[in-house]
Amino acid sequence: MKLKTFASAITLSVTLSLAGCSSMYDKHVQWETVKPDSFPVLTAIGQAPISLQKSENKTQKMLMAIKASKIAAYAELAEQVYGQQVQGELTMRNMILDDQVLSASVQGLIRGAKVVKSYPVGDTYTTELELDFKDVWQIYQTRSRQKQIKDVKYY
């Protein structure tokens, strides 16, 4: 009985050892980068009031409005690329709508956007941005080589 158990254990260990050397792991995979057929171009406009900027200096108010309008344009681009999360809360009292609160947020990383125009319109500063996804694709190719399988050779 002990001899049969010992023989079975030896057979099992030899089988597992040989299975570890199977051809399942003997392969070479070639990868290739796949370029999309078309690249969309997104545009966004951001605006900021000049007179409401918190400064006494007129030039500094203008510079702050320029920066704020650029940030607003980037937020609009992020909204177009990643979407906007909207959360709502509704309160009813005695079957009558008492209070309704909505909040929206956007989060994302925008790379490759270009300022097309930046100009004042009355008391508002406006910045126009453009995001060409061809540029975005090239940026991501240099950073994170996304690939697909081109060829697999088994040995």
Q: For the segment 4-33, what is each residue's pLDDT rounded down to a tens digit? A: 776 676 776 766 666 655 555 677 777 777
Q: For the segment 96-141, what is each residue's pLDDT rounded down to a tens digit? A: 888 889 999 999 999 999 999 999 999 999 999 999 999 988 888 8
The 8-class DSSP code of residue 50 comes to S
Whether pTM exceeds 0.95: no
Q: Given this model, what pLDDT does residue 36 score?
A: 84
What are the b/e assignments for 92-102, b being 16+ CB within 10 Å? eeeeeeeeeee
Q: Determine how β-strand 148-154 pairs with β-strand 124-132.
A: unpaired
User: 36 forms bridges with which residues in the sheet?
Assistant: none
The 8-class DSSP code of residue 71 comes to H
Domains of the chain, by residue range, sit at 39-132
Contact 146, 140 (CB under 8 A): yes
